[in-house]
Homo-oligomer: A and B are copies of this chain.
């Protein structure tokens, strides 16, 4: 064959798997094989077939035999040949396929308005800047980036995060102490039970998904009460068995208060005394709207705080990229839990995010989104203040959601009624009760958790109007 493989590969169309078996001439066998491939759907309508020469070389038969077979199938209507576009599978009725799965069809109907917490505006993903960063990053990457991955994650990304988190979140660390993961849930899976053991103190209101994940890992959780200063960490010393506490210090999830400075100090003192760890879920630390930013707890004691962040709120939950900033003595155990090679985080997004941060695009995107979400938050406050002045709005200094608290004396049933009213208006949102730890002892709180980030800019006003229609009227305490 006079062609080098480079020229050959460039001249080829689709790759094709054919078995030439059974009776008859080469030509007849090839025709049967191609016909079957089309009939059974292995060759989809519109698929381009390889040029005669390539298929002939692959199958070890004469070029004319392939040309004859193609011509025959064109004549029969299985293939179609057009000048300049080669030979393709003809557009015929859809082929027979095995029975479809009945399970997991598309959901019956989508709510008209998405005010679920925890989802950034998907329409604002910075596609152009991300692609530009990907181009620079993949062009500059060393070849070994495409070999088996280091479980710590790419050094480019760990360096970029070290500087970025120091600058914006007061995190003090070193690229060697960062381990890349695919998000907060993955961080929990890596830590429990391989690195830390339960019971784990958690906040009385928090993500059920995290509690379920911990329960599945055999980790018992102990709920800390919450008040206007965040989690009551005085409770940590009550149980001698506790060795770790999961906190959301910058913006308690979902009630929205920052952890009071005295509580921060108390929590760190507990960790030092008990030889324990604070697990800091910095889930939306980038989005602060007030003058007084709240730095990461980790900066106060890098040896007792495990700081976990991700791009799920800042860029997209679909990227699946997060990081653990670890105390020195936990780096080894976490890497051991992760395994010898990177099995989770893909290299292209790691390299792209590193470049995206280094080029300042991450800063620009977060500033842009911060202003967008702040504007929406202000609109939410205006609307609720106008339509339902009896509801208190809390947790609005930061983040992507607010809590509309039902008046004092409201019950679980009032919350359910409010949620049903919201559902009636086509609104997807959660009640505060959904987040309560089943073993929590603090007095229950009732309200609606309103995420204002998920809708696109053009869909937000409509969602807000629907919310206002759904909000409960002030029946006054005497009516109860």
> What residue in chain B is nearest A335 (Cβ atoms)?
B104
> What residue in chain B is nearest A173 (Cβ atoms)?
B98
> What residue in chain B is nearest A296 (Cβ atoms)?
B17
Is A17's CB under 8 angstroms from B295's CB? Answer: yes
Is A319's CB under 8 angstroms from B295's CB? Answer: no
Any chain B CB within 8 A of the CB of A347?
Answer: yes
Collect the chain B residues with CB atoms within 8 Å of residue A413's CB. Answer: none
Any chain B CB within 8 A of the CB of A146?
Answer: yes
Is B145's CB under 8 angstroms from A135's CB? Answer: no
Chain A: how many interface residues by the 8 Å CB criterion? 109
> What residue in chain B is nearest A37 (Cβ atoms)?
B167
> What residue in chain B is nearest A328 (Cβ atoms)?
B101
Collect the chain B residues with CB atoms within 8 Å of residue A456's CB. Answer: 143
Is A15's CB under 8 angstroms from B168's CB? Answer: yes
Is B139's CB under 8 angstroms from A343's CB? Answer: no
CB distance from A191 to the nearest CB of B (A): 15
Is A186's CB under 8 angstroms from B343's CB? Answer: yes
Any chain B CB within 8 A of the CB of A291?
Answer: yes
Is B163's CB under 8 angstroms from A343's CB? Answer: no
Any chain B CB within 8 A of the CB of A166?
Answer: yes
Is A127's CB under 8 angstroms from B139's CB? Answer: yes
Any chain B CB within 8 A of the CB of A13?
Answer: yes
Is B138's CB under 8 angstroms from A122's CB? Answer: no
A318 touching B138 in the complex, CB below 8 Å, given contacts A19-B293, A167-B37: no
Collect the chain B residues with CB atoms within 8 Å of residue A15's CB. Answer: 167-168, 286, 363, 366-367
* CA–CA, A361 and B296, complex, Å: 45
Complex partner residue of A152 from B97, B104, B119, B454, CB under 8 angstroms: B104
Collect the chain B residues with CB atoms within 8 Å of residue A429's CB. Answer: none
A360 touching B185 in the complex, CB below 8 Å, given contacts A97-B172, A98-B303, A293-B17: no
A368 touching B332 in the complex, CB below 8 Å, given contacts A147-B122, A346-B321, A456-B143: no
Besides A123-B146, A318-B346, 12 other CB < 8 A contacts? A9-B368, A16-B168, A17-B169, A98-B328, A101-B176, A101-B326, A103-B332, A122-B146, A131-B134, A134-B348, A149-B318, A349-B349
User: What 7 pairs across the A-B complex have the smallest Cβ distances?
Assistant: A103-B332, A318-B347, A42-B166, A5-B371, A122-B147, A125-B146, A15-B363
